[in-house]
Amino acid sequence: MPRLPNYYLQRALRHSSTFTISIQRAPALDITTEHLPFRHDTIYTAPRDELRYFRPVKLLLYTMGRFIRGTSLDSSPTEKQKANPLPAFIASLSTIPITEAISHLSALAPDLQTHLSATGIRLVTHAAYPDPARLNYLARIYLYAGRRCAADRAPLATRLQHRNLAPHFERLYEQSAKQVKNAPLAGTLTGVREITIGCACCVGAPWVVIPMGERMDGAMYFEEEVYRELWGQEKEKGSLYGFDDEKNKMARRMKASREQVERAMAREKLVVAR
């Protein structure tokens, strides 16, 4: 069964008169489930006679995937690509501790250069690695790392380090945009590859949100209780609401400015110095 963008059908099991589907988050792929009306970890069961509604969609996605992307509709590396050093290294960043992941991204990003493949894939290369990797996949890892900062309660220095990566990713997409514009055939294929289900900005497609300067401040959002501990009743710069699986309720995340984070870091240093 072909994988869907940013979520996939993990398993489809037929049990007597039912068809069970478990949908699992895959944050580094094409579409987030944050804007969908269902929980990503919920199991849905439907009568077997409703399977006929799945088949046309499955066939369409399979055909599009084979024609447009070769194997699937997502922009993640294939198993063959993961065997290469740079794609494998990038793929590992979504699973290691957040402080290490952002530290590796900070070391990697400044020396990356962009290229456009003949089939319209945005690529990045690094002098220390023999093979290219997909820019869109790397960018998803970067954006996801920002969201992980709040969930993992990353240190202030790590959050600021992530925020400082924004100019590097803006540079990469600026270079890539010029290459897409200057290659009519490959650029057309890029546009086809990057078709999204729904609004590309709403679902967080990196080739849209990063050039717009959006979604790169995820590391500056704090859980409400953490924000209050650090800055008391000081006015936040923005808020987000989402479902907290651990607390089983809607939770608020509050955005701090760079200046607030730097002040809090200075206070921490004074406490340590004492």
Q: What is the DSSP string of 146-201?
A: HHHHHHTT--HHHHHHHHTTHHHHHHHHHHHHHHHHT-HHHHHHHHHHT--SS-TT
Q: What is the pTM of this model?
A: 0.69
On the 0-12 / 13-18 / 19+ scale of CB atoms within 10 A, 268 is middle
Instruction: Encode the chain (274 residues) as per-residue pLDDT tens digits.
Output: 333 333 333 333 333 333 333 333 333 333 333 333 333 333 333 333 333 344 444 445 444 544 444 333 344 555 554 556 899 999 999 999 999 999 999 999 999 999 999 999 999 999 999 889 999 999 999 999 999 998 899 999 999 999 999 999 999 999 999 999 999 999 999 999 998 888 888 888 999 999 998 889 999 999 999 999 999 999 999 998 887 777 788 889 999 999 999 999 999 887 766 6
Would you state the pLDDT for residue 28? Answer: 35
Residue 225 tokens read as 């209780």
Q: Read out DSSP for 214-255? A: -STTGGGEEEHHHHHHHHTTPPPSEEEEEEETTTTEEEEEEE
Would you state the pLDDT for residue 127? Answer: 92
Backbone angles phi, psi at 261, to 5 degrees: -65, -40
* Structure letter (DSSP) for residue 66: I
Would you state the pLDDT for residue 143? Answer: 96
State how far the Cα of 134 lies from the Cα of 78, in Å rounded to an integer.
10
